[in-house]
Amino acid sequence: MTQHGLNGELTTTASRQARLDELKKSFANTLYTSVISMEALKTFAEGGRRFARIDGNVRLIPKQSDLSGFTQTVDLYLFYRKDEKHGWLTERSMAIMRSRSND
């Protein structure tokens, strides 16, 4: 995984496994376990631009019995642009959290 600064300069490089290990540590002490399902409803590609609209459900299951779980619907919009030096970059992303129901 690479991260780039505002002017396109390379700021960080880490392997995929290193990033996954970092995420596992940061989520080890969370109060919930999550189950996420996603489906791409629309994709569009033209030249150096890409777009995806993804429909998802996020279910949070509490790790402690005194907490309640819930499910939330998410609309995710992703916009990409192709950079000749760095390849495909996320230009913009937006998530809209929809209805929430207690489990």
pLDDT in the model for residue 37: 94
User: For residue 94, what are the contacts with CB-CB under 8 A and spacing of at least 6?
Assistant: 76, 77
pLDDT in the model for residue 73: 93
Q: How far apart are CA 45 and CA 8, in angstroms?
A: 22
pLDDT in the model for residue 1: 55
Among 102, 33, 36, smallest CA distance to 69 is for: 102
Q: Encode the chain (103 residues) as per-residue pLDDT tens digits.
A: 566 677 777 676 677 787 788 878 887 888 888 899 999 999 999 999 999 999 999 999 999 889 899 999 999 999 999 988 888 888 899 999 987 777 5
pLDDT in the model for residue 59: 92
**pTM score, whole prediction:** 0.59
For every residue of 29-77, which 3-state class applies, written as one string? CCCEEEEEEEEEEEEEEECCEEEEEEEEEEEEEECCCCCCCEEEEEEEE
